[in-house]
Structure 1
Amino acid sequence: MASVANRDRLSGLDSSFLHLEHDAATHMHVASCMVFDGPPPTHDELVAHVEARLHLVPRYRQRLAFVPYGQGRPVWVDDPHFNTRYHVQHHALPAPGGEEELKQLAGRAFSQQLDRNKPLWELWLVEGLADGRFALLGKTHHALVDGISGVDITTVLFDLTPEPPPTSTPEVPWVPRPLPTNAQLLADAMLERTTVPAEIVRGMRASLRAPRRVVKKVVEDLAAVGSFTLPGVRGAPPSPLNVRIGPHRRFTWTNEDLERVKQIKNALGGTVNDVVLATVAGGLGRYLRAHGHPTIDLVLRAMIPVSVRADAERGALGNQVAAVWAGLPVGVTDPVERLELVKHEMEGLKESGQAVGARVLTELTGFAPPTVMAQAARLQAHQRFFNLVVTNVPGPQLPLYVLGRRMQAIYPMVPLAQNQALGIAIMSYDGCISFGLNADFDALPDLDLLAGQLTEALEELAAAAGLPPLGSPRRRRNGRPASSPSPARAAAGGSAE
């Protein structure tokens, strides 16, 4: 019986994202809300634009095929029923078409799981925004793409100028390959099971030829794994952010000036990422205190994904990410002290080798039986290893265009795991740095309050850095004036309890 030829099997990490999505409450897609200058294109124009470039990302016309009895990780196969119009949808906002209506639609879009019987992505064209603008809501399953490579993949649809050069055309029209049968899928998985040990044996032979080098590498890897796993074993502190979540989401954002963040970094030291994490810690502290939660000596644990993708692999599909655990000193109300603690924490993480340890564990998942991996992923979701996910992705610092329309802003979204009610994704683009907040609908009903407190925490750092205050009313880069702090927000900035 012939085995499946030229099929891409999911890695252990990619497969784990499927296992994490084992109920209706968890959705393992990454997403973004992108706002453009108008006028909006027609649905037909956008569909044609996507179809003209799909050959550059052939996986976007592939879906998953699952091995019978769970005897192997799924493989990517061509979807014989692929229809671009299913994936590129058309929606309109109700009047007045403001940010509130857009946020509500984004939250509803991000609450819906992707259909595993189809390619794991969607693109929503949203018209009806005020001032003639429009938006695109993009969703891609985490098993297909991670945040870092996702920045590269979006260049397939984006252009660097309003009038881009002609797109290359495929030499031959796309024709889907025949779907494998269940017997073929099972046989291929069994064959792979028998060949992997042979690869291990060859590796052992190589080890015998260079024992000292191998022993040194093993010792380094074990130390790195220990630095990664020990914080997780200790567990994260209890917090109102760690509750049982449902399937519905709220999504909001705040936009900041990237140059202002860099000025804070230059004045107070550290990196842009340190300033961002200190801002998140300050905003979370304000939010918890505003709701009567004591924060004295409280350090929340953030899981921070980091890319371990080599530069030569940028743009490749699939996940090559690891994670580090970082403490967020939400109980520290002095902004400079908070930044110093974050800087010290991040410097320690770089020296500890946590990311290396995470990658070692990730590579080991490739050798674990799929049924064991499924249970391990679900166990991880039930444990409280971290309080929230914070991811910071550097984006392009020049304007991007779709069908000649300039993108004004992009607001990223990171998914939620079980018992994790909040995720914060940060992305820089064209001089802005945007904080995208994704939350369980019921656990954080006042998510916009937290978004405002992130801005206030950043302004605390700006004042400490000696920067002049922003004008009042402030104006974002997208032209929307920001409201002044509410009494609840002002009270949230008080001393820790």
Structure 2
Amino acid sequence: MPVSKPLSNVDAAWLGMEDPTNLMMVTGVLVFDEPLDLERFRATIRYRLLRHERFRQRVIYPSGRLSKPRWETDPNFDLSAHIIRLTLPPPGDQAALEEMVSMLMSTPLDYTKPLWQIHVLENFGEGCALLVRLHHCIADGIALMHVLLSLADDRPDAPWPSPEPEPEERRRNPLSALFRRATSAAITGLRLTEKVVHESLVTLENPAHALQLARTGADFAAAVGRLALRPPDPPTLFKGKLGVAKRAAWSGPVPLRDVKAIGRVTGGTVNDILLTAMTGALRRYMESRGEPVEGLNFRAVVPVNLRPPEKAGELGNQFGLVFLSLPIGIADPVDRLFELKRRMDALKGTPEAVVALGILGALGVTPQELQNIVVNIFGAKATAVMTNVPGPRQTLYLAGSPIRTLMFWVPQSGRLGLGVSILSYAGEVRLGVATDARLVPDPQKIAAAFHDEFASLMDLVRVAEAVEHENTPSPAAPSADHCQATTRAGQPCKNKPLPGSPYCWRHQPAGE
């Protein structure tokens, strides 16, 4: 009989939130400019991914009303059931890829098998794309990025994966070290730096202190009260009855150096800039559909990483949630940036993320009927889910091929219809948008509006550069006291120049 073990309470909560109209899957896309070596790719999955036992395990439900779901090794595990080849229909462009992502994002995973699947999508331009789907009960964003790094190499000629453990000197994958640095920064400072975009749009000043407060009860009751008594979000086009069909879209790349340039002019962090542009994009989309935006605020549920650095490589979910109010009603991007920064700073140091993690843990052992009631109550208090996950700063190689683009979408927990994801990779940032097709059938317009908002912020950089140029003194003109020529001995000429000329009578250019 296969060995089994119970899901953690938090992982069980994410499993229990699964609904036909809101699947709890993390969906990702990796784009390549060349076809993949499929034999090498399968070897990579077999010898690197499957070293994590979770990817060989399925979820089973023991009999008994209060029994917890359990992880069990799938006795019939077949890798071919998890790696599927498909061909994109002509013309094999981004629109065709977005349509395929949307369709599979709306399709549940097979619960009789381990809860992940990879589609190799051929006929995408001159190359191909990988569409990866994993259930959120397997891991959170930080852990899944660790899994990605464990699959990838930092050069195309890295050794083939093998059944034996690969010595560090043979594989030479410094990206794992990069991940550890990013995670450590997220834990110990949880403050966005210009080196990497952290998982959380809102970060804690001192997560260890917040955990201690939760343990001792200090401010815990107040945080619970704020979460429970927070009024519902106002009705907007983003809220309503959900359907099964979802839509996915993503923006073009935004150079990270441009984001940093805006930050230098405004004093904002990378997160401040991206969140300001994203909020402005939602405002523009609402205006395009004739929705009122004056004075409007609605909340986004934002993950806060609570994973200790020493557990960076462990699967599972170890993050809390906070509610960030987005100032949709502020039209001026600079005013919006300053207000968002003020609101995010106010969330730092609060125990609300830890409280939310505790609530998720409690949901994991709550009967499904009661769990649905609690999820709906908290879902009414927000409109969107927003997250960002750090990617490596240099190009990765998978099965010997360079990954050109990375993008992902998060599930909209709490029966929400809007998900926004931010991912940094190889010096670029992209915005992903996932929506309920009934509510927002055209998320591409939100992605396009994000670029419009970012262009408005870049105008500030150009203005600042122009002002700086005007205020920079011009180089001093050469002195007119002496001839500007050099004597045959190589010394400056000491004669006085002729009127209107930089040279004396002896050194006048020929013809003058």
Q: Same fold (TM over 0.5)?
A: yes
Contact 2:239 2:439 survives alignment (8 Å) = no
Q: Distance in 2 between matches of 1:416 and 1:392?
A: 14
Q: For 2:64, what is the secondary structure of its paired residue? A: helix
The one-letter code of the counterpart of 1:225 is V
Displacement of 1:437 after TM fit?
0.8
The one-letter code of the counterpart of 1:425 is S
Q: Distance in 2 between matches of 1:302 and 1:226?
A: 19
Aligned to 1:243: 240
Displacement of 1:442 after TM fit?
2.7
Contact 2:22 2:415 survives alignment (8 Å) = no
Q: Distance in 2 between matches of 1:356 and 1:416?
A: 20
Displacement of 1:61 after TM fit?
0.4
Contact 2:26 2:136 survives alignment (8 Å) = yes
Question: 1:264–1:227: structure 2 CA closer, same or farther, 3 Å change rule?
Answer: farther
Determine which of 343, 346, 356 is the counterpart of 1:345.
Answer: 343
Q: Distance in 2 between matches of 1:215 and 1:34?
A: 39
Aligned to 2:150: 156
Aligned to 2:5: 8
Contact 1:56 1:156 survives alignment (8 Å) = no
Aligned to 1:441: 437
The one-letter code of the counterpart of 1:307 is N
Superposition pairs of residues 45-444 of structure 1, within 5 angstroms: 45-130=40-125, 132-167=126-161, 169=163, 217-230=216-229, 233-254=230-251, 255-365=253-363, 369-371=365-367, 375-381=370-376, 383-417=379-413, 419-444=415-440
Question: 1:84–1:381: structure 2 CA closer, same or farther, 3 Å change rule?
Answer: farther
Question: 1:6–1:381: structure 2 CA closer, same or farther, 3 Å change rule?
Answer: same
Aligned length in residues: 417
Question: 1:15–1:377: structure 2 CA closer, same or farther, 3 Å change rule?
Answer: farther
**Which has more radius of gyration?**
2
Aligned to 1:174: none
Displacement of 1:214 after TM fit?
9.4
Q: Distance in 1 between matches of 2:11 and 2:234?
A: 28
Q: Distance in 2 between matches of 1:86 and 1:425?
A: 28
Contact 1:64 1:75 survives alignment (8 Å) = yes
User: Residue by residue, what CA displacement relative to the aligned partner does 1:163-204 show, whole Å, maximum 9, x if unpaired?
Assistant: 223545259xxxxxxxxxxxxxxxxxxxxxxxxxxxxxxxxx
Determine which of 6, 9, 17 is the counterpart of 1:20.
Answer: 17
The one-letter code of the counterpart of 2:217 is V
Name whichever of 452-461 and 356-365 sits farther off: 356-365
Q: For 2:432, what is the secondary structure of its paired residue? A: strand
Q: Distance in 1 between matches of 2:461 and 2:99?
A: 36
Displacement of 1:392 after TM fit?
1.3
Q: Distance in 1 between matches of 2:213 and 2:219?
A: 10
Unaligned segments of structure 2, at least 5 residues: 166-211, 466-512
Displacement of 1:229 after TM fit?
3.9
The one-letter code of the counterpart of 1:458 is F
Displacement of 1:76 after TM fit?
0.6
Question: 1:329–1:214: structure 2 CA closer, same or farther, 3 Å change rule?
Answer: closer
Q: Distance in 1 between matches of 2:256 and 2:461?
A: 15
Name whichever of 446-455 and 349-358 sits farther off: 349-358
The one-letter code of the counterpart of 2:321 is A
Contact 1:34 1:410 survives alignment (8 Å) = yes
Q: Distance in 1 between matches of 2:151 and 2:290?
A: 46
User: Residue by residue, what CA displacement relative to the aligned partner does 1:339-380 show, whole Å, maximum 9, x if unpaired?
Assistant: 0010000000004332233234345456xx441x65224531
Displacement of 1:305 after TM fit?
1.1
User: Residue by residue, what CA displacement relative to the aligned partner does 1:419-468 show, whole Å, maximum 9, x if unpaired?
Assistant: 52211111101111111111112321222111100111111122124379
Question: 1:120–1:450: structure 2 CA closer, same or farther, 3 Å change rule?
Answer: same
Unaligned segments of structure 1, at least 5 residues: 172-212, 470-497
Aligned to 1:35: 31
The one-letter code of the counterpart of 1:222 is A
Name whichever of 213-222 and 72-81 sits farther off: 213-222
Question: 1:71–1:339: structure 2 CA closer, same or farther, 3 Å change rule?
Answer: same
Displacement of 1:47 after TM fit?
2.4
The one-letter code of the counterpart of 1:283 is A
User: Residue by residue, what CA displacement relative to the aligned partner does 1:19-60 show, whole Å, maximum 9, x if unpaired?
Assistant: 2114x2121000111101203333x44323311224421110
Q: Percent identity?
A: 31
Name whichever of 338-347 and 434-443 sits farther off: 434-443
Q: Distance in 2 between matches of 1:457 and 1:447?
A: 16
TM-score by length of 2: 0.77
Name whichever of 437-446 and 281-290 sits farther off: 437-446
Question: 1:56–1:14: structure 2 CA closer, same or farther, 3 Å change rule?
Answer: same
Q: Distance in 2 between matches of 1:354 and 1:126?
A: 41
CA RMSD in angstroms, aligned pairs only:
2.3
Contact 2:302 2:322 survives alignment (8 Å) = yes
The one-letter code of the counterpart of 1:98 is D
Contact 1:146 1:318 survives alignment (8 Å) = yes
User: Residue by residue, what CA displacement relative to the aligned partner does 1:78-114 show, whole Å, maximum 9, x if unpaired?
Assistant: 0001110110110111222111111111111111111
Q: Distance in 1 between matches of 2:288 and 2:164?
A: 57
Aligned to 1:450: 446
The structure with the largest helix share of the pair is 1
